[in-house]
Structure 1
Amino acid sequence: MTGTRRSDRRPAPGSPVARVCVDVPLAHLDRPFDYLVPAELDAEALPGVRVKVRFAGQLVDGWLLERVERSDHPRLAYLEKVVSPVPVLAPEIAQLARAVADRYAGSLADVLRLAVPPRHARVEKELGGTAPPADTAPTGADAVPVDPRGWRDYPAGPAFLRALTGGRAPRAVWSALPGEDWAARYADAVAATVAGGRGALVVVADARDLDRLDVALTGTLGPDRHVCLSAALGPARRYRAFLAARRGEAPVVIGTRAAMFAPVGRLGLVAIWDDGDDLHAEPRAPYPHAREVLLTRAQLGGAAALVGGYARTAEAQLLVETSWAREVVADRATVRARTPAIVPTGDDPQLARDPGAATARLPSLAWTTARDTLRADAPVLVQVPRRGYLPSVACADCRTPARCPHCAGPLALPSAAGTPACRWCGRVAAAYACPECGGRRLRASVTGARRTAEELGRAFPGVPVRTSGREEVLTTVPAGAGLVIATPGAEPVAEAGYGAVLLLDSWALLTRADLRAGEEALRRWLTAAALARPASAGGRVVVVADGALAPVQALLRWDAAWFAARELAERRELGFPPAVKMASVTGPAEAVADLLAGARLPDDAEVLGPVPADEGRERMLVRVPRARAAALAEALHTAAGQRTARKAADPVRLQVDPLSLF
């Protein structure tokens, strides 16, 4: 563009019209806009590149979606600039982004902001080259031998691998056995896909799972055969990994939630591990879930799909019951052989031996199990739902929960000699006095991981005590006697497995005001119990809960599929997701009412609420049958566009299928 005056500009000779998605977060502008490509930018203005355009008198960013011969608009402005000649947006990802935006009542610009990481000019300069990548697939020389023996405990497992090797697109919901090396099984599935001449994409919940899968894939495929993509890598490393995937330098991409939109040449398999983990839900608009994005990719691209975990979500169960996917599970004899001995403390026999088991935090059964395991020179894992020391305290005299005098947030104690402080605003309440009785003594309402470690360290002197949680997450612990206190999701792997696993404070999980409370409790329990040795090797699991509860029953039998089917049946009866489609509309009361009044909702839509939300806002829920999901999303998105077009002051947050409804 240097030396070219605006008046001297001429359109490019071929396909002079560029369709551009402008990066403007306004719902009523959620459509492509046409611009002329100047002749001097003809070679660089390729589909997928970042551009600058004039929009409403301002210079804004955008993505060039396609080049066409003509436009329906008589007068068009020119592209101002090609920001980078690197075509970062692959055509199939643009198509996926549009589908995700439509599903979640969002805008294409919002999804593309999630799909394409911010540009890092230095990385582009280091890598060089402007040509778009070739859509190549792994060659025969790239293939590695596929060993189906790791899947032999699952009758449908070897057939699943054969289908991947044969280039077909099987869809599976896999329930992993306790003690299973899930990363190795995923590496087997990826190797089978690569052997079939296609690429693969695997998404996990956190960095620890990503590291484990990275090691497994390196051992199976060899070095430099896959790319790791995660937001935790930092801007430069993340962008370098993204460009490597975009250029097809490796046939496989693995990563956390940030990788769900990663470009993969000739995609043959999408997979997700532990889809019930809430880290898979994107906290930015339009709030897509990694599982749903990957399943959409499988549907659009004809790829295979693998949804795996020790537990099973109601969404995964729906895939099985609608025959969209086939379940891959072990037979009951194999399950019994691999499962540790699991015992609850709240059933009648235990209460007869220990009447205090119903209320004790560490009943005698759990204490004796830990003692016997340590005497046998084996490690013990103790799962505690809450981190910290005493994350919740109350008045020792009248039991009134202790709240912050400034913001009414819960008070917590950081240590035995610490001063109570607010968990919301951080202010110290050194002179706290109970507003009900005036008492100044505090007692524990909830006991955290650090306090648990302190108590068990006193109960078992001389035994090493390790903690794993938010401050420091351990990956592995050595064999031998030792206590490991971990919060859910931070449980380290023990050499040869744990001799015992204690699941404490089950009430903190089961009594949450959440539709998924039982499902989440079972998921966390199974994840911890899977690290124990089989019963034949002395492995035991003690869950401090009533054995009659459905999640506890599923844990005792190691039958996540039964519990998922039960949950799905109850949600069908009550009309909750995933049996129906539901959207939440959150904002100031007047703004919520305004949006719903302007929405042309389907005739069979039900509007529920309002219910209080945070910061003085309210929430309304809109429910429709699953077949009307697209109509609901379109109606809400159109109504949001009407509000942004007239510059309504108060924002409204739209979420389709939110994880939390209350």
Structure 2
Amino acid sequence: MPTRVAQVLLDSPLPQLDHLFDYAIPTSLATSVVIGCRVRVPLRMGNRRVDAFVVNIVDESSFGGTLQEIDSVISSVAVLPHGLYSLARQVADRQAGSASDVLRLAIPPRFVRAEKAFFSDEAVARRHSIRAESARSTAVAETLSRVSEKRDDLRTPFASFPDGTCRSIVVPPGSTEVDEKHVPTWALMFAAEAAVTLQRGESTICVVPAFRDIDDLLLGLAALEVGDVVVRLDSRQTGGERYAGYLRILEEHPVIVVGNRSAVYAPVHRPGLFLIWDDGDPVLQEPMAPYAHPRDVALLESKNSGARLVFAGFTVSVEVQRLVELKFASAWSAPRSAYPKVVPTDSLTNEQSRARIPSAAWAHAREQSLIGPVLVQVARAGYAPSVCCAGCRTRAVCAACSGPLATGSSSSLPSCRWCGLIAGQWRCPECDGTKLRLMSSGSERTAEELGRAFPNTRIVLSDGAHTVTRVTDTPCVVVATPGAEPLAENGYRSVVVLDGESHRSRAGLRVDEHAVRSWIAALALARADATCFLVGAGHELGATIASWRIREFAQAQLAQRRALGLPPTRRTATLTGFHADVVAALERVASLGQTRVMGPSSTGVQSRAILFFDYRDGDTITAALRASIVVAATKGTRRRTATSQPERIVRLRARLDDTELEDSP
């Protein structure tokens, strides 16, 4: 019997190895090597062994030399379907990265115990029984009909939405009660459309930024009685749980996948719908190479599979608004009657607007807190995030690292927010003063002050260190930081957004976009008949939010970017590395399209340059950048000592569409 040949992709970070290698399949492994399985192969004349995925099996190789043989099979489970490999290759080419880096995000590590348990006779029989019961049951259709009677607009945003198309949805605020459980309206809308897609025999992938969003969506799916076909993929799971969930996705049965960034790669059976919630949230930006945003990955997958694609949120990102204006995506927005009344306090008298909480907002919050929950959003966590000299008002910084000083309570000593050093003997370098003054109030100090102002009212604190997800419809004041606001049963009686000037004073191109997104996320938690207050937003942003011109704001932001030639109207590549390699990469792409370069600028041995280019030149320029990266990577490694292992030097790195290019930390 002639020896067959496996074409494998090595699991290696080296860019020069980002292509398929041919290996002979030994007779002893002929039945266990299958397309998509994990194997271990020799590398560099057999001196090293590396893991690899079998991408294809052919009868003969085009390689003229003698092929090395596969060393062993890690697992015969085909964890890499062909469609996922094709997607990884597309994403890598778009991002000037490696397909193995994409697969590292998409495919969880193997856990032997979880794999054995998943394929045990008992587990297989249980899954078969659940699917058979689901096929016979009419509970999903009945529950969906019952919920739709209570909320008849659940599927309105998805009307006239054919396969293979994209839609931008601004969802209505609030929550809906289902079987005595309050579910955010957006989560119930997602769940309803996923349930309908499931009834068509198709799978749905839901990508959300935060764990609390996952919990909300799972609550909505459970309310519609489709929990048995839901697969959760997120970093809170154990490795075994995540791997078992991935194995379930590989089965040829439709599922509903709910997860964070990497869930977008899930190789589901018959993908019919991609739902991306709040794509403008910075948490969705992938921090690992090749740095592809789930929004861009979903666009590729929708094109490949013909599935519907939805970008939904309380706001619209400029990237999605660009798709709308290109007629690539249709648009649907909730009616303005669904939103609460918002009073920007910049429109009040000067006397009122000077206070951190203007008197009108204070009086209304006090009144409403007697009958139900009131939300107060503050910009920062902690007690006093910044302090200054009481004498000359110079900002107090750490003597060791020049980081900002902060205090954790009214009685604690100031400490550095960067290095943690306690500044017990601080002295002002300008006036030699030793007394400090609190410059700002964080969530803890605000909660403390409101507790004194409302002595008979329960104060609830929710921030990064103290997270609360739900509050009942009883009198209380909730102090929360952006993203940590609890959901209130029946909505908040009032919402007061503080520290608007703190949001707007930050540097970066997306400052206004992030500020509006943060404020609207809090205001959307109010009852439709509530009166809310927005403090420090400025006249222009305040008027925009008061009139709920959400899509118009995105249009204005995009128009500004277009006039300046900035993302997302043009693509960018941030190049970092040795100066000679950065310059060589820029020279390679100089004649390939209409480009603009900022830099390179150097800090020590490292240089940085930002390349701007048009979307139409994307394939050509990313291919050229990838070639430059490979050339730079072949220039060798160095050793720390004579006996140490080689230390890999990243001589050139390219980060496409880098959001940090626009925003300061």
Confirm or deny a common fold (TM above 0.5).
yes
- Give secondary structure in 1 for the equivalent of 2:539: coil
| Paired position in structure 1 for 2:643 | none
1:436 aligns with 2:437: no
CA drift at 1:619: 3.2
More off after superposition, 46-55 vs 641-650? 641-650
- 1:182/1:612 CA distance change after superposition, 3 Å: farther
Question: Is the Cα contact below 8 Å between 1:270 and 1:294 reproduced in 2?
Answer: yes
CA drift at 1:401: 2.0
Question: Is the Cα contact below 8 Å between 2:254 and 2:270 reproduced in 1?
Answer: no
Question: Is the Cα contact below 8 Å between 1:505 and 1:544 reproduced in 2?
Answer: yes
Equivalent of 2:76 in 69, 76, 85? 85
Question: Is the Cα contact below 8 Å between 1:383 and 1:487 reproduced in 2?
Answer: yes
Equivalent of 1:48 in 36, 42, 64? 36
Equivalent of 2:632 in 637, 643, 652? 643
1:631 aligns with 2:605: no
CA drift at 1:150: 7.7
1:178 aligns with 2:178: no
Question: Is the Cα contact below 8 Å between 2:154 and 2:189 reproduced in 1?
Answer: no
- Distance in 2, matches of 1:627 and 1:560, equals 29
More off after superposition, 222-231 vs 183-192? 222-231
Question: Is the Cα contact below 8 Å between 2:155 and 2:192 reproduced in 1?
Answer: no
- Distance in 2, matches of 1:198 and 1:296, equals 18
1:326-385 per-residue CA deviation (whole Å, 9 max, x = no partner) reads 11223xxx422x2111011112xx12xx4251x43222222122112123x121101112
What amino acid is the match of 1:345? T
Question: Is the Cα contact below 8 Å between 1:150 and 1:185 reproduced in 2?
Answer: no
More off after superposition, 277-286 vs 433-442? 433-442
1:73 aligns with 2:63: yes
- 1:208/1:601 CA distance change after superposition, 3 Å: farther
| Paired position in structure 1 for 2:474 | 480
- Distance in 2, matches of 1:617 and 1:630, equals 27
| Paired position in structure 1 for 2:336 | 335
| Paired position in structure 2 for 1:312 | 316
What amino acid is the match of 1:565? Q
Question: Is the Cα contact below 8 Å between 2:35 and 2:55 reproduced in 1?
Answer: yes
- Give secondary structure in 1 for the equivalent of 2:92: helix
- Distance in 2, matches of 1:108 and 1:24, equals 10
| Paired position in structure 2 for 1:7 | none
CA drift at 1:487: 0.8
| Paired position in structure 1 for 2:505 | 511
- Distance in 2, matches of 1:150 and 1:514, equals 44
- Give secondary structure in 1 for the equivalent of 2:85: helix
User: How many residues end up aligned between the 2 structures?
Assistant: 627
| Paired position in structure 1 for 2:569 | 579
Question: Is the Cα contact below 8 Å between 2:18 and 2:99 reproduced in 1?
Answer: yes
| Paired position in structure 2 for 1:3 | none
| Gapped regions of structure 1 (runs ≥ 5) | 1-9
Q: Alpha carbon RMSD of aligned pairs, Å?
A: 2.5
| Gapped regions of structure 2 (runs ≥ 5) | 176-184, 638-648
CA drift at 1:247: 2.2
- Distance in 2, matches of 1:90 and 1:569, equals 41
| Paired position in structure 2 for 1:425 | 419
Question: Is the Cα contact below 8 Å between 1:27 and 1:638 reproduced in 2?
Answer: no
- 1:200/1:208 CA distance change after superposition, 3 Å: same
- Distance in 2, matches of 1:192 and 1:621, equals 45
- Distance in 1, matches of 2:321 and 2:506, equals 23
CA drift at 1:651: 3.8
Question: Is the Cα contact below 8 Å between 2:482 and 2:518 reproduced in 1?
Answer: yes
| Paired position in structure 1 for 2:456 | 462
| Paired position in structure 2 for 1:100 | 91
1:283-333 per-residue CA deviation (whole Å, 9 max, x = no partner) reads 111111111111211111111111100000011111211121111223xxx
| Paired position in structure 2 for 1:368 | 363
CA drift at 1:641: 0.8
Question: Is the Cα contact below 8 Å between 2:459 and 2:479 reproduced in 1?
Answer: yes
Write the mapping of 1:492-511 to structure 2, written as runs, cut at 5 A. Answer: 492-511=486-505
CA drift at 1:238: 1.2
- Distance in 2, matches of 1:274 and 1:342, equals 22
CA drift at 1:209: 0.8
| Paired position in structure 2 for 1:355 | 351
1:240-272 per-residue CA deviation (whole Å, 9 max, x = no partner) reads 111111224652111111311112101111111
CA drift at 1:472: 2.3
- Distance in 2, matches of 1:444 and 1:401, equals 10
- 1:480/1:588 CA distance change after superposition, 3 Å: farther
Q: TM-score, normalised by structure 1?
A: 0.90
1:453 aligns with 2:441: no
- Distance in 2, matches of 1:383 and 1:632, equals 44
1:552 aligns with 2:542: yes
**Identity score, percent:** 37
- Give secondary structure in 1 for the equivalent of 2:439: strand
- Give secondary structure in 2 for the equivalent of 1:655: strand
- Distance in 1, matches of 2:69 and 2:96, equals 30
- 1:151/1:176 CA distance change after superposition, 3 Å: farther
- 1:619/1:355 CA distance change after superposition, 3 Å: farther
What amino acid is the match of 1:411? L
- Distance in 2, matches of 1:35 and 1:558, equals 61
